Amino acid sequence: MTDATTTDVLVLGSGIAGCGAALAAAREGASVLVATKAQQPADASTDWAQGGIATTRDDPESLKRDILAAGDGEADPEAVDALVGDAAAAVEDVLVDTLGVPFDGEEGFDYAREAAHSAARILHVDAATGHHILGPFLRHLDAHENVDMLEDAAALDLITDEGTVTGALLDRNPRTGDRAETGVPVFAGSTVLATGGIGDLYRRSTNPRGSTGDGVAMAALAGADVTDAEYVQFHPTAYDDADPFLVSEAVRGEGALLRNADGERFMPDYHEDAELAPRDVVARAVAAERDATGEVRLDVSPLAFAEEFPGLAESCADRGVDWETGIPVAPCEHFLCGGVAVDTVGRTSLDRLFAVGECARTGVHGANRLASTSLLEGLVWGLRAGETAAGDGRAPAPSEPPELRDRDPDLPDGFAAEKFRRLRRVMDEHVGLRRTGADLQRAQGVLRRLKGEVDSYARTRTSRDLYQLRNAAVVGLLIARAAGENPESAGCHHRSDEAAAEEAPDAGH
């Protein structure tokens, strides 16, 4: 072996969860390599997170109740206990004391309220909270003597040795910085997946491009358990355009109202909490009213929009949206609640493999995630997993990595893009906000064929585009299969063939 690198802990991904894992492992004295596809902070979903980070204030039990209620009976109380138990200390230690995140508030914090929260408990910086966390986090790690950061580096596959994960093949050499099409093996005592979400599987998403479910796919291909994949959350209020931007739930928290094309406020007909109902309820209601009347707008006239949400007012202006007449909104893919199954310290079902953040299924979200809990979950599980991973063992000696072949000519430009279009079409049409058994069967057929095609190309080629496509096809299939196997609607998995009546107003949401 000539070009192998070894490290105690290899973290794949650089959002809040990956950063949390790297920080905790480095604090334990482990050597850490963070390898990330991101070329800039904005390539991670964390940087896009608007609303904020939920805290417990002095009432952890009420946050726990809200999370369990949003999860629609599917959340794991033990995981929720872990989250709320660590929340205050993690936020104070890392975000406030270590990174000095300038949360809004003059004398003490200005806690915001968002949908399905029974109290104002969300720390935020304008409506650009993730951006104000991630920049300082990356700078802090960059300066840490135990941490090396490698940007624009995708993991192509995990390396396994008799069921134990011993590292990953990267498409960039950590020593030289050179691109390495056939993969450079990095051997690690523990590997932490923190690769984020799956937004690129849908035409419209609030995630950055490149959210292709890499960690979930690599873990599944290595034999790890993936659960709750059917619970794909759609955010109710993204700008209604092929290239959407998120209009934070915090705007409804401050009093904005949803109106259909006839100008009627409709949410009170769907849920007693109206605009502050759980996200899945609002998303389906917005879709139904948009179908019935042609358009839904978010009326921001009840608040001082430009003052309270300057970043969003700017996004509107950039896109030529006159927010004074209401912002046209439609649901769009936002978050995968399921993923690689992990325990309360982020361990997967494979030895020495951890998963944190959106690619992990901790059990906190159940069938539907409560607003502003993703940054918190990423931070808490990142810290727990990083500390555990560091204690699990140090860098192993290099062994024989799998051989990736790159012997055939490159595929034509646009090959992966065309297949991605096919994949997104099937996910949108058959594995979206409302699903039927027949549609899910159809989706599985198309995705299976697509995966077969991609696998045959990937046997002799290793471009990043092709591997991302393979990952997206694997994850799309896992989602469609899980959705097909679950005939019961819960949270964001809505089987319209099971309970069509639930769609109608006054149907007891």
Backbone angles phi, psi at 462, to 5 degrees: -135, 35
Cβ nearer to ligand SIN, comparing 51 with 484: 51
Cβ nearer to ligand SIN, comparing 363 with 398: 363
Rounded least distance, CB 398 to ligand SIN, Å: 41
Backbone angles phi, psi at 144, to 5 degrees: -80, 130
Q: Applying CB under 6 A, what is the total number of residues that bind ligand SIN?
A: 8
Rounded least distance, CB 252 to ligand SIN, Å: 8
Cβ nearer to ligand SIN, comparing 289 with 333: 333
Cβ nearer to ligand SIN, comparing 146 with 248: 248
Rounded least distance, CB 249 to ligand SIN, Å: 3
DSSP 93: I
Cβ nearer to ligand SIN, comparing 249 with 387: 249
Element (H, E) at 90: helix 77-90
Q: Which tokens in the block code for residue 29?
A: 């004295």
- Pattern 198-217, ligand SIN, x by CB under 6 A: --------------------
Contact 248, 122 (CB under 8 A): no
121 catalytic per annotation: no
Near ligand SIN by CB under 6 A: residue from 14, 36, 45, 50: 50
Near ligand SIN by CB under 6 A: residue from 31, 45, 372, 388: 372
Pick the stretch among 18-26, 154-162, 247-255, 318-326 that binds ligand SIN (CB under 6 A): 247-255
Pick the stretch among 154-162, 243-251, 340-348, 419-427 that binds ligand SIN (CB under 6 A): 243-251
Backbone angles phi, psi at 375, to 5 degrees: -65, -40
Rounded least distance, CB 336 to ligand SIN, Å: 12
Cβ nearer to ligand SIN, comparing 43 with 439: 43
Q: Which tokens in the block code for residue 186?
A: 């990095």
Pick the stretch among 189-197, 212-220, 366-374, 393-401 that binds ligand SIN (CB under 6 A): 366-374
**Distance of alpha carbon 151 from alpha carbon 159, whole angstroms:** 20
Instruction: Tell me if 51 contacts ligand SIN by CB under 6 A.
Output: yes
Contact 214, 36 (CB under 8 A): no
Near ligand SIN by CB under 6 A: residue from 371, 383, 385, 477: 371
Rounded least distance, CB 162 to ligand SIN, Å: 39
Bridge-based pairing of strands 360-361 and 339-341 is: parallel
Pick the stretch among 20-28, 173-181, 246-254, 390-398 that binds ligand SIN (CB under 6 A): 246-254
Query: Counting Cβ atoms within 10 Å, is residue 365 exposed (0-12), middle (13-18) or buried (19+)?
Result: buried
Please identify which residue in the block is written with the tokens 């609607």.
489
Rounded least distance, CB 67 to ligand SIN, Å: 12
Near ligand SIN by CB under 6 A: residue from 207, 248, 388, 463: 248
Pick the stretch among 31-39, 337-345, 371-379, 494-502 that binds ligand SIN (CB under 6 A): 371-379
Q: Which tokens in the block code for residue 357?
A: 């953040």
Q: Which tokens in the block code for residue 391?
A: 């204690």
Cβ nearer to ligand SIN, comparing 141 with 267: 267
In 176-279, which ranges are E strands? 179-193, 226-227, 232-239, 257-260
Q: Which tokens in the block code for residue 130?
A: 């993730």
Contact 496, 439 (CB under 8 A): no
Rounded least distance, CB 50 to ligand SIN, Å: 4
Cβ nearer to ligand SIN, comparing 371 with 389: 371
- Of 402-461, which residues contact ligand SIN (CB under 6 A)? none
**Distance of alpha carbon 175 from alpha carbon 299, whole angstroms:** 53
Query: Counting Cβ atoms within 10 Å, is residue 474 exposed (0-12), middle (13-18) or buried (19+)?
Result: buried
- Of 130-149, which residues contact ligand SIN (CB under 6 A)? none
Rounded least distance, CB 37 to ligand SIN, Å: 21
Cβ nearer to ligand SIN, comparing 25 with 371: 371
Please identify which residue in the block is written with the tokens 């991302």.
468
Contact 120, 55 (CB under 8 A): no
Pick the stretch among 145-153, 220-228, 367-375, 425-433 that binds ligand SIN (CB under 6 A): 367-375
Instruction: Tell me if 230 contacts ligand SIN by CB under 6 A.
Output: no
**Distance of alpha carbon 477 from alpha carbon 447, whole angstroms:** 6
Instruction: Tell me if 374 contacts ligand SIN by CB under 6 A.
Output: yes
Amino acid 358 reads: E
Rounded least distance, CB 146 to ligand SIN, Å: 31
**Distance of alpha carbon 37 from alpha carbon 340, whole angstroms:** 19
Element (H, E) at 35: strand 32-35
| Three-state SS annotation for 62-81 | HHHHHHHHHCCCCCCHHHHH
Task: Pick the catalytic residue from 204, 279, 384, 481.
Answer: 279
Rounded least distance, CB 437 to ligand SIN, Å: 29
Q: Which tokens in the block code for residue 168?
A: 């990953």
Considering only the C-alpha atoms of the chain, give the largest distance between any 2 of them, rounded to a whole number of Å: 68
Listed residue (445, 424, 427, 437) closest to 483, CA to CA? 437
Pick the stretch among 78-86, 103-111, 245-253, 315-323 that binds ligand SIN (CB under 6 A): 245-253
Which active-site residues does the annotation give? 279
**Can you give the binding site for ligand SIN, defined by CB under 6 A?**
50-51, 248-250, 371-372, 374
